[in-house]
Structure 1
Amino acid sequence: MSTGINFRFRLPLGTFTLDAKGEIPSRGVTALFGRSGCGKTSLLRCIAGLEQAGEAYLSIAGECWHDSDKGFYLPPHKRAIGYVFQEGMLFPHLRVGENLRFGHRRTPVGQRSEDFDRVVQLLALGPLIDRSPAQLSGGEKQRVAIGRALLNHPRLLLMDEPMAALDRGHKKEILPYLERLHGESNIPIIYVTHDLNELARIADHLVLIEQGTILAAGPLNEMLGRVDLPIARDEEAGALFDTRIVHHDETYHLTRLAFGGCELTVGWIDRPVGAMVRIRIHAKDVSLALDPPGPTSILNVLPVTVLEMAAHGRGRMIVKLELGGEALLARITQKSQANLDLQPGMRVYAQIKSVALSL
Structure 2
Amino acid sequence: MGELTVTVRRAFPDFTLAVDHAFALDGITALFGPSGAGKSTLLRIVAGHERGAQGRVIFDGEAWQDGRTHVPPHRRGVGTVFQDARLFPHLNVRGNLRYADKRAPAGSGRITFDGVVRALDLGPLLDRRPQALSGGERQRVAVGRTLLTRPRLLLMDEPLAALDLRRKADILPHIAALPRTFGVPIVYVTHAIEEVTQLADRMAVLAHGELRAAGETAAVLERRDLQPELGHFEAGVALTARVTAHDADFHLTHVRLGEQRIQMPAAPVPVGSDVRLRVRARDVALAREEPRGISIRNRLRGTVLDVAEEADTAFAEVLVDVEGQHLRARLTRAAVADLDLAPGTPVWALVKSIAFDRRALTAPRPSADDG
What's the TM-score bracket when you normalise by the shorter of the two chains? Answer: over 0.9
The verdict on how the C-alpha distance between 1:156 and 1:238 changes in structure 2, with shifts beyond 3 A counting, is: same
The verdict on how the C-alpha distance between 1:134 and 1:358 changes in structure 2, with shifts beyond 3 A counting, is: same
Q: Quick one: which amino acid aligns to residue 345 of structure 2?
A: M
User: 176-185 or 330-339: which moved more?
Assistant: 176-185
Deviation at 1:13, TM superposition (A): 3.1
SS of 2:80's equivalent in the other structure is: strand
Given that residues 193 and 230 in structure 2 are in contact (C-alpha distance below 8 angstroms), is that contact kept between their aligned partners in structure 1? no
Tell me whether 1:38 sits opposite 2:30 in the alignment: no
Q: Quick one: which amino acid aligns to residue 143 of structure 2?
A: I
Tell me whether 1:249 sits opposite 2:235 in the alignment: no
Task: Tell me which residue corresponds to 1:95.
Answer: 92
Task: Tell me which residue corresponds to 1:337.
Answer: 336
Which residue, 138, 141, 151 being the options, matches 2:148?
A: 151
Which residue, 264, 267, 271 being the options, matches 2:265?
A: 267
Tell me whether 1:226 sits opposite 2:223 in the alignment: yes
Alignment of 1:274-289 (within 5 A): 274-289=272-287
Task: Tell me which residue corresponds to 2:63.
Answer: 64
CA distance in 2, matches of 1:203, 1:184: 16
CA distance in 2, matches of 1:108, 1:286: 51
Alignment of 1:1-359 (within 5 A): 3-68=2-67, 71-109=68-106, 112-230=109-227, 231=229, 233-311=231-309, 314-353=313-352, 356-359=354-357
RMSD value, Cα: 1.8
Q: Quick one: which amino acid aligns to residue 135 of structure 2?
A: G
CA distance in 2, matches of 1:3, 1:224: 24
Given that residues 182 and 202 in structure 1 are in contact (C-alpha distance below 8 angstroms), is that contact kept between their aligned partners in structure 2? no
The verdict on how the C-alpha distance between 1:233 and 1:316 changes in structure 2, with shifts beyond 3 A counting, is: farther
Deviation at 1:108, TM superposition (A): 4.1
CA distance in 2, matches of 1:217, 1:319: 22
Given that residues 205 and 219 in structure 1 are in contact (C-alpha distance below 8 angstroms), is that contact kept between their aligned partners in structure 2? yes
Structure 2 residues not aligned, in runs of 5+: 358-371
Q: What's the TM-score once normalised by structure 1's chain length? A: 0.93
Q: Quick one: which amino acid aligns to residue 255 of structure 2?
A: L
Deviation at 1:53, TM superposition (A): 3.9
Deviation at 1:259, TM superposition (A): 2.6
Q: Quick one: which amino acid aligns to residue 308 of structure 2?
A: A
Deviation at 1:342, TM superposition (A): 1.4
Q: Quick one: which amino acid aligns to residue 161 of structure 1?
A: E
Structure 1 residues not aligned, in runs of 5+: none
SS of 2:269's equivalent in the other structure is: coil
Given that residues 31 and 190 in structure 2 are in contact (C-alpha distance below 8 angstroms), is that contact kept between their aligned partners in structure 1? yes
CA distance in 2, matches of 1:304, 1:109: 53
SS of 2:25's equivalent in the other structure is: coil
Deviation at 1:170, TM superposition (A): 2.1
SS of 2:224's equivalent in the other structure is: coil
CA distance in 2, matches of 1:133, 1:201: 27
CA distance in 1, matches of 2:342, 2:112: 55
SS of 1:163's equivalent in the other structure is: coil
Runs of 4+ more than 6 Å apart:
none
CA distance in 2, matches of 1:338, 1:232: 26
CA distance in 1, matches of 2:241, 2:339: 30
The verdict on how the C-alpha distance between 1:129 and 1:21 changes in structure 2, with shifts beyond 3 A counting, is: same
Cα displacement string for residues 268-323 of structure 1 (whole angstroms, at most 9, x for unaligned residues): 22323212211111111100011111222221211111112334572112211111
Q: Quick one: which amino acid aligns to residue 305 of structure 1?
A: T
The verdict on how the C-alpha distance between 1:12 and 1:273 changes in structure 2, with shifts beyond 3 A counting, is: same
Q: Quick one: which amino acid aligns to residue 101 of structure 2?
A: H
Given that residues 228 and 310 in structure 1 are in contact (C-alpha distance below 8 angstroms), is that contact kept between their aligned partners in structure 2? no
The verdict on how the C-alpha distance between 1:232 and 1:329 changes in structure 2, with shifts beyond 3 A counting, is: farther
CA distance in 2, matches of 1:110, 1:16: 38
Q: What's the TM-score once normalised by structure 2's chain length? A: 0.91
SS of 1:121's equivalent in the other structure is: helix
